[in-house]
Amino acid sequence: MFCPEPVFRTKIEMERMAVGNILKITADDPASEEDITRWVNRNGHQLLGIKKTDKDLEFTIKKVK
């Protein structure tokens, strides 16, 4: 997915989740690292980790509020 698609999908999924749940997102656009990290911080959630592979990035995000 290329930006802004990963951020948009993250937002939609987080809205569906209960506080305390964890979401894993996979994106293949290198710009997603900065974009999703910024979105998570701006919206008060917790970025638990980013796993980088040769092909993509996997984000683990905890819904805080």
Residues noted as catalytic: 3
Beta-bridge partners for 47: 61
The DSSP 8-state label assigned to residue 2 in this structure reads -
CB of 22 closer than 8 Å to CB of 48: yes
